Structure 1
């Protein structure tokens, strides 16, 4: 395993593309603004990993004929700036190491942070510390590789499991309960709205009673003004109206014209359903005769009265 030293800084951007990496800078608000161009691949851009890996691939295409095995490794076992590979024998791994170093050197890339399960393989390298660089705790010799922990001394992968904090669940260790977002907010599930506590208020008995009374009155006031007013009356669910009768004078609803301009009509025939309820009627206006649903009509007389006999 090895790491490319300042991989992005080793890759030059074509001069025609450098204006797209311009930045404005001044050390003080009193200094004039200066324009700088970044000449190498810039860390933090979305395209930077692609540019780096594409450069490595082009290096393998241009110089890979002299180092065929190393070219295959650099196109297969590289993740951004980390090289993680191996070989069946010490001799093959040592030869592969020198090929990779030589091939990358032609692209001005330098390797460091070497680690191996065989210390002899990296003993001749200058940039090697006595123990591999570790991102784990001090008492652990594992190295972090793509989310896994590899211990080069034992040549095995390791995993770490951290026990969840008991403060995120109920105090009773025997209580089995799923971990919900509510535990991070109030320490328990949000099955019911949490009740506010007024015990910590520094008030006497009378002030606390008055405070609770004002809170209740404010709650019911908002309930009445903001919620009850939005409810609709459903009279048709509690009482039944008589069917519209022949001869009833009605208005025809039309959302395209004002209410006072709705045309009038008279019911000439009714069409009751199987349950006896009249939902469709035949109307006659001064222009034509046609059927309309009762829901689109507004009776001008009570439903039990007729405009004529």
Structure 2
């Protein structure tokens, strides 16, 4: 039995699919929108005259960047009228071990760029600045390549890159805590929270730690940030003693998972994922911010169990 020859266009698209999702997710902050954008890019790619395409990677990146920018502009109003804090949609990730020092430096950049804390900062950029920042700082595209991708002049892209870099730098100090420290602190946090050990929680938390909770009006969550080690520690110390999202402590399972490039916590009931919790660490190794996503609409990507390799393809 003979099989029909594989479509070369489909092979090329699949070769770059991980890059396209990685770009779209960092631009949009939701896995569902990123997947839809990649699918739309496939439709455009299928209809294109590919004989005229000299550089498929650049061409596909341009398609997905423009589609993501369009979607980002159209969803901004929804995010501005969102009930409570708007947080990105968490994804399960697999960064894998790194040994070479160059690889380690690159992996930190890539994992940091997909962290909840960074995605929250990227939300404060204009759509163009966000696209330029992601393509330049994460994927190392040249200004000329980005100008073509976002259909702007190269000087305009350089200006946007500078503004975005300064904006991010002011709001996001250079990441310092290593993966091993973060994992150990997350494990200690989990043990302390489930054991009601408020003293250990206080040790792990920065005095001015901020807890952001996203229920989207679908489940009961704090509508404003919860600030201060004592308040945040008390909130988590109660996990093992009171129902959470209507699930009794005996029915709830809490486990470590790699979420958005770093160690996080996955809260599950027998029939569903209840929430994810991720942490941001300061220079002293203590937790400075906690992002808690409980909106069921934003837990679809985690619920599937699919992991995303978010390193540079």
Higher helix share: 2
Question: TM-score per shorter chain, which class?
Answer: under 0.3
- Normalising to structure 1: TM-score of the pair? 0.20
Structure ranking higher on relative contact order (CA contacts 8 Å, 6+ apart):
2
Structure with max Cα Rg:
1
